[in-house]
Amino acid sequence: AQKVTQAQTEISVVEKEDVTLDCVYETRDTTYYLFWYKQPPSGELVFLIRRNSFDEQNEISGRYSWNFQKSTSSFNFTITASQVVDSAVYFCALIDIFGKGTRLHILP
């Protein structure tokens, strides 16, 4: 069975701090895709990144970066120099199976 675990239910950091959101997944498939989505307070779900199982290179997009490690079945998400606008619930997903999400509070 496929499973996604986001152990951090809620995180609070002060603005400009760096924060890492953890994601651990389980699958028996050799080919799979992982995703991160953001759900701001307005409620919509926004796609952030997709990563396939054959590409273990880290990805950076502005203040966002992702670390995929197949050996530990993890796909962690780091926000550098956090901003209040980063406050949201973040979901990690393995294809169409979502984790329970991590609620991130960025305090001014």
Instruction: Kindly list the residues in this chain that would bind another protein in the complex (CB under 8 A).
Output: 6, 9, 31-33, 35, 43-45, 47, 50, 52, 91, 93, 95-101
CA proximity to 84, closest of 17, 31, 37, 24: 17
Q: In angstroms, give the least distance from the CB of 52 to another protein.
A: 7
Q: Which is nearer to another protein, 21 or 101 (CB)?
A: 101
Nearer to another protein, 35 or 66 (CB): 35
At 96, list the tokens.
């169409």
Closest to 92 (Cα-Cα) out of 13, 3, 29: 3
**Sequence-ordered alpha helix ranges (H) in 1-81:** none
15 vs 103 by CB, closer to another protein: 103
